[in-house]
Each structure stands twice: as C-alpha cells, then as structure tokens.
Amino acid sequence: MANQKSGDIKVVADNRKARHDYFIEDTYEAGMSLTGTEIKSVREGRIQLKDSYISIRNGEAWIKGMHISPYKYGNIFNVDPERDRKLLLHSYEIRKMFDKVRLKGYTLVPLRIYLRHGKAKMEVALAKGKNLVDKRETQKLRDAKREMEKALKLTR
C-alpha cells in the first residue's frame, strides 16, 4: 500500500470471505466510533472481520461480531473486544440501506477496514447471498483466468 503521510489509504483488515459468499451490489464508506485503545489496536492491525455483520436499529448502523484485540498497554481502558460499535453514516445512506435490506433481501457486510488521514474507515457493502452453484461458477471462472494467465506467461 501507499505511504500514509501522502493521505492515501492503508488497508488494515480485509474480509475476503464476503466476496466469496455474496454478490456485492453497492459499497459505502463509514466511519467508526472507537475508543482510544481500540484505535491503537486497529493501527497495529489487530482486528478481525470474519463473522461480523451490520444491523440497523433506531436509525443507526451498528457492526456486530467484529473483534478488536485489547491494546497491550491499555490496562483499565480496554473494552470488550466483541462489543457492538456504531458506524458513522449519513442518515439518507442509512435509510437507503435499511429499505433495501428490509424489502429486497439484501444484507450489509463489512468488506475492509482502512486508515485514511489517520482515521479508521470501513467499506460497507450492500450484498446478496450466493448459493452453492454461484460459488462454484465463481471458482471456475477464477481457475480459468489463472490458467490463461499461466499459458500467456509460458509463451513469452
């Protein structure tokens, strides 16, 4: 990744399983409400998105199941690693996501967490679940692409 001083982004955590299990329809950038020791752990890359998901309640977006390891020098200031954390989005974005999730069978999944200008941001996806046939088709396409690239590399 690029240098953080120039204002570029530094990816801290990536949810690769989300792209395998879901069709990504739309993405949003959300800020996160974190404590001081949590942001220090995020900057160290001690975060996991594996089984996390996003829910909307009372007009606010919350991420559940995201694990941020306790900061090793945090002592009494460390909080529960699995606690629900509020996502910072515009109200019209939350309404738009809520309508699609409620009516059209979409789900909200976190794709990645990155640092931009020293602030933790999350890429949130509006996604539809894949079934087993779709997952196999995606794997076939990926394998075919890999084989073509391999063949091209050998002919050079």
The pLDDT value given to residue 56 = 92
Question: Quick one: pLDDT at residue 4?
Answer: 45
pLDDT at 3: 44
CB contact burial 61-84 (16+ within 10 A = b; e otherwise): bebeebbbebbeeeeeebbeeeee
pLDDT for the residue numbered 1: 41
- Note down pLDDT in tens along the chain; length 156 residues: 444 455 588 899 898 888 888 888 899 999 998 888 888 888 888 898 888 889 999 989 999 988 888 888 877 777 777 788 889 999 999 999 998 888 887 889 999 999 998 889 999 999 888 787 778 888 888 888 898 888 888 877
- In angstroms, how far apart are the furthest CA atoms of the chain? 61
Question: Torsion angle of alpha carbons 127, 131, 136, 140, nearest 10°?
Answer: -40
3-state secondary structure of 12: strand
Domain 4-130 has CATH 2.40.280.10: yes
